[in-house]
Structure 1
Amino acid sequence: MKKHVFWLYIVIFIVSSLSIWKGGEALRNQQIKELRIDSFEQLNQLASVLESAIAKYQHMPTLLASNDRVSKALRDGFESDINQLNRELEQINRITEASDSYILDTDGLTIAASNYREDASFVGRNFAFRPYFKDAIQGKPGRYYALGTTSNRRGYYFSYPVYEGDSVIGVAVVKVDLTQFEKRFANQHYEFLLLDPDGIVFSSSRSNWLYRVLGELSHTELQRIADSQRYFGKSIEKLAIVYQKPFDEKSQEIDMLENTLINGVEVLQRQSFLRMSRPIRLLDFKISILAPLKTINEEISLWRAIFAGGVTITGLLFGLALLRSRMLRERSDANEMTRHNQAYIREVIQNTQAGLVTLDEHHKIESFNPAVEKLVGQPLAPLVGQPLDMLFQPYDKGTPVASSQDDLLTVANDLGIKVLTCEGYLCYSDQAVAVEMTLCQMQLPNRLSYLVTFHDMTERKRFEQDITQARIELEERVKERTFELQDANTRLRQEIEEHKGTQRELIQTAKLAVLGQLSAGLNHELNQPLTAIRAFAGNGLKFLDRGQYEQAHVNLQHISQLGHHMGDIIARFKVFARKGDVQQGPIAVQTAIMGALKIMTPRYKEVGIELVVAEDQDFIVNGDMVFLEQVLVNLLANAADAILEDSNNERRVFIKQKATQDQIVICVQDTGNGLSEEATKHLFEPFFTSKSSGLGLGLGLSISQRIVDVMGGQIVAQNLTKGGAEFCVSLPRFKHQSSQSLIAEEP
């Protein structure tokens, strides 16, 4: 009979298990269908958001290509136009929230970019190898997607040709960073993948899925992708999909292996997803949503576990009955052990050196050991049943003492533990004793109790008082010394500011002195165009009276050109005369030389001195353009004065450039009588001059030396063997942050 009952239970168990399993499968399929409907709506919403967000950038290159400033910068290449274009591109990027905007010439070289201020600027980099450039340079709108090789940022590129007439003179490019969309949809209850036409993950809510492929790629396809530098430096690997099957015609169930961090250790786990996909025609991409099935699987597993749990609970009830008898035996043994432990603890309390006091659940003194009486110096029997504050008072009257159960619980909750420690005095005797009190809660069988421990702190308090007094005295000395240093520092700063002001005024005085010397040549330089303007204007009026408008138009063009020429001369003198401090930065040596020549040319023409300037070497130094021009103007003015002192010499001044590994040297050579021994000794001293009386302040070379020193260089002078003197200015060569490569890297 028992055997038949056993087999009956087995059959019932098997039938129930099969029923639960099949019912769980049906419930799982129903929940997945509901999940598919919700996820498909989210997929359409995600695709619409992505398409609309990208679409607003596709016409930006067309607008940039139609900008007159872009055409002018590509056509003329003036630095002022390019600088203005850089600022406009930066402002456009800030308004449209695009990643980068830049302009390429016909060789693929970037002439202007919105990120021109950044270290990884596109300016000067060549992107001729990119497909979007190749399409646009042929007159077609370009599109491309790639991983930037410098900043390691992914983006989608739109390009459009820049026309001048029927010719393509450049390309306008806009890059859209897709990471903004990843951040926007990163915290959803689903994962998403953006797949390129080769099936490679270009964007995803999980960074470790990037540059993975869902299908299979041949060696030829992988080589093609590598040659295009689309994913520069990234290895294309396959996603770890271990199982997949279609759920219906629009979705699939897939299982993937993922590394999951559990308690600081990476564990390889299998995760299930419901995948749905649809194309994004604007980008020729495909977007997929992976809805996790973990919750559904866990719910089904929990539902299936209920039956097994019921069987298990039944078995446990039988086991509990058997354990009860065993627990009764163990309880008797535990009571005996408790009595033994109580006797042991009582002996420890009586013989410890620390003062111990126990409180009952109402916070009244219940017992104490001999060590407390020894601290106080008299018996404490009268205090039994009294509150603790009859024996102990804290230093800080605001410190709570266990006078009630609520107080103790409040303190314990504030501390996060069931222990309270504070310092105070044992005040029961005539003389207070400094102690440290520790109160802790003891959960005894059938009742609540508290243990209070007292430690003698008399010696420690004395040491603390000595240390506190010494610290106070040290702080007073430090305050006195600090006040003296602050006063001295204030006086020193005032002297430095006065010195800087005096130096700036001396520099400005030297500038004005040079301008005064050049005033005669400036008058001659301006009188010639003014005379020509008057002549052209008179002739133009006669042509207008006669109805000869074409000749009048020609005269007006001549007048306009002469006006621009005069404006350039006056503008250069205004820049030279301005005040300001040295602003370090990269400057072209040839540009500084030409600026100085514009100032000095009128005077050299007036006195008949020939200027010989070496060819442009494209040298770049680190310094300030205006102050370097001032130094060169001072040297050219001194060279002219030296030549004019001896009318028999050849009237010629040479400006030469040479370079070392770290320095650029600018030399000004004259054909004068050279430097005397006395002048060589005091050449750079303020107010020293070897010129005739009234021809100089003696500040030009001194100020020039200070300016060159501030820019990190030096100025030296020597006599030439063939006659005359040479002044050489050495400045540090400007070095770029990163070296240029054959193929420019792109972020």
Structure 2
Amino acid sequence: MSPFRQIAPWPRALRRPARIASRLPSVSQTTKALAFCALVAVGAWTAYHYAERAETSAIIERAAHRLDIDESTLKGELTRYDYLPALLSLNPDIAELLRHPADAALIARVNRYLEDVTTDSQAAAIYVLDLNGTTLAASNWDRPISFVGQNFSYRPYFIDALHSGTGRFYGLGSTSHLPGYFYAARIEADGRALGIVTTKISLDPLEALWKRGDETVLVADANGVVFLTSVPGWKYRTLHPLSAAARARIDTKRQYEGPGALEEIGLVHRRRLAPNAEIDAVSPPNSLVASPAGKRRTDYVVVSRTVSGTDWQIMSLTDIAPARKSARYAALVAALGLSLATIGTLYVLQRRKVIAQRLSMRETLERMNDELERKVARRTGALARANKSLRSEIIEHKRTEATLKATLEELVQAGKMALIGQMSAGITHELNQPLAALRTLSDNALLFLQRGRREEAEDNLRVIAGLIERMGKITAQLRRFSHKAGTELAPVAVERAIANALFLVELRLRKEDVEVVRNVPDATAHAESLVPCAPCAHLVLADANRLEQVLVNLFANALDAMLGCAVRRLSIAVHADTTDDAFVDIVVTDTGPGIPDAVRARLFEPFFTTKPPGAGLGLGLAISAGIVRELGGTLKADDTAATNGASFTLRLRRAPAQDRADEAIAPTTLERNRATTNHADEEHDD
């Protein structure tokens, strides 16, 4: 039970005047009237005092609960960005910039990196300073008001971070003149300090949230300056007069400025209610509401506490006028009740009955109070048990989530095996041809050697070596495709992934006479030859093996859809996304019957398929969509109502520019080997 509720029951206070009245001797009517008036006044004052204390205690409890929430919200907002300095210290470009501050290319790269981190973390600004306090790079480098080139060596957060490793500070920005919370951390390498990285956090959303509420909340710093408040007129004002030294320190830091800055709110201490609660008065010019004519001040119940981990003080102010109004109503009710009770005392026969009724009412109220306390205790225990059960459910949910993720990995691998199974017949045919040729060529080579025709035997052996290499490429591609590995995002050449996927379905393309049209930069318009062009024009962040699995699934679905069609054309287009240049679109289109509107809404549902029974489980598109989501992209079916066939768009994030430059140096050995294999295939077919 709260200490503010430890107040004597009011029926006991009302019973005392009744006992006194019953013991009065027989006196004159005037004396009796004066005595009864005195008793009514004492009872009314007692009721007023009790009601005021009860209402004030309730206000303090509500304010303390609100402060718990507000303090937790404020601390959560301050600690939400603690990970940023450690994250930024992992970037080698920042340390390199601090070693070589004049490198323009390095400055530009760090500026863009800080801008990306600021956008992702929703911080106000992130900037890097050298040991002299000069800003070398900032997330707002391209803004009209930029921190680049500004010197902040006078700021407390820079000084503290330089000496102790970290620094914290709240104040107005000297460049942007916007308030914010600054968190600075020292960057070190090889045992010595290189510079400071600073994160600026805007607390305006938190202040806006307080303003929308019906309570009055403010946060003051160690000097008593209010810097966060739900009352705009109180911002940057002081709770008490500032000394000249404190005012000079604030001016040196350039911490606060604006109309009325560092002026007093006019908060006057009136009475202490508890260690963390008191009644203060504010004069009408600084009050929250307009004061009635002639009213000199407004009294508030002020509940305050220190924000843990800081030297700040968070305060809640509640107007005490409603509590006093309720107390006056209680006093009026008590006065009326006592008046009736005193009249009853004139009738001796009714006196004992009235007292007995009041005693019975008191006992009933005490029993009700005890029962209420027991119910509250039971309810508290039930809530504790529910909280424990909720934690157990959260742990079980995390375990289930891990199981689902593992199941998805197994489904992805099963999808690969299903695709390999679908291609097994074609691959068998693809391997049988060189095997038969190997038998014939080896027999001929033996005969040539027996007859002394060495040159013909050597030619046959070279052809045999080419056929063996070709068979090795086919099996190596299948082994790589079936490999099970985790998702690790890395730069992947889109054109190379398309060529690898087409290589896996190449036999079906030739067998079913499907024309492949690739609208890919640096690639031929009609790709009768499946050798990819280099250097690749587009690089995306993905896992090469999983990207090829998605493409193979889309190609296989397109080939299935075009079975029996007069025109069989598989079109593949690669281009930058029309809405965001940071993404690349891969569009796969076929000339099949298209996708009906009734089917389109269920395309990516597991186990949904339009193929005949036995032709598939309906997991291909569902697994592909899950893979693309893990890669940070999207997979959707485009609306092709105006044209024939189906069209799917695979959208992936573009790789950074440096990774694209490294990837485009030369074609891979797999591409060169595949080109050699295709050339050997053409000679063998001839």
TM-score, with structure 1 as normaliser: 0.37
Richer in strand (by share)? 1
Richer in helix (by share)? 2
Which has the greater radius of gyration?
A: 1
